[in-house]
Structure 1
């Protein structure tokens, strides 16, 4: 099966994309013969058996992609989006974050969030911290520290660890007043605030739709799964920039 992917070039022409798609932005499991590739091909072949496909998108954003499925050879695709939850999923709201945002000028703060399971390496965390500090950016940072193994069990982000230990010494003190670092930040509530002028995101599809809903430009930092492909799509439709 993997022979089908050998010598296939560095870019693929895919009907729902305006430009050729670099193979490195495709989900990594697609290139794993035992699991990802076989499962993907099995799923794709079943698509023709369905009467329709419902997608959380909308014509104004992805007209090229949606029109590419009007060839009569594929089931109809129904855009039902943007489906966005405008209420926080938490039972509490960090009032100090909202209070801090209320005191900032319009479009002056950058929001950094990489998803509930997204985490960066310690060197990456430190480099971001140095840039935020030296640039004197106003910022909100939802920091998920790297995963690690403990007793042969992979721990999720922030399990029994202190985020302060992954930041440069004294960073929190030096940025006090113009930045906040938390393990969890209410994404929708923050993106809706007038003080937020930019969103550094892992490019989960929900995050992209939420940023579009609130008119906040995205700087892409995809981490895994389909996020690289989402970022590539975002470049095509002109809603984000790469960092």
Structure 2
């Protein structure tokens, strides 16, 4: 006979019901947000004369728990992104059975490549030769092939790096060749973030048009490098109109982000 008082069973049951109700409420919130983002992408595709299936939504889940990732997977999301390895690694492990493609979109330190190579299917932030070498070694060690996007810093001058990472436009072709020559890596395309400084600041459409031109030149030399990753919650329409194949959307799906501890 159990010595546990009946009140504890009642409390546990109540907690379980409350937890389930919270999960159902969160699922409904995410579903509604996804529907609104879907309408935005579909509208932009229509305005651009493109087919909806030409654009892939990547949901950026940084600062949100694995439970949210699982809810998103249940709602049909197949591509998710993280930008901090210390958060991404455990979350990818917790959701390893969810059938997701994991994208790493943050600035990547070479000492984190071994960890990232264990779960990331694509790295969007390749911006220097040293990173290519480290990521190649890590991919070979993990016996995986990792798709790489060259991050282009449209606010960087020749030979320099943008404040949020990325190679200057005139360095893209050399870096792309380095990726192509590296074991364990696959050149998939280019990525950018609308610049905060310089002549393109506050002009996302002009920035994304420039990225599209860089992509066209890259594909002339590397025809399989067709990905153009651009656009976030605030400017996804401009990215789609400029030819983006992948948009990275976080807050419009998951809500305002909690402060990082």
Given the two structures, how large is their TM-score scaled by the length of structure 1? 0.28
Higher helix share: 2
- By relative contact order (CA 8 Å, sep 6+), the higher-ranking structure is 1
State the TM-score, normalizing by the size of structure 2. 0.27
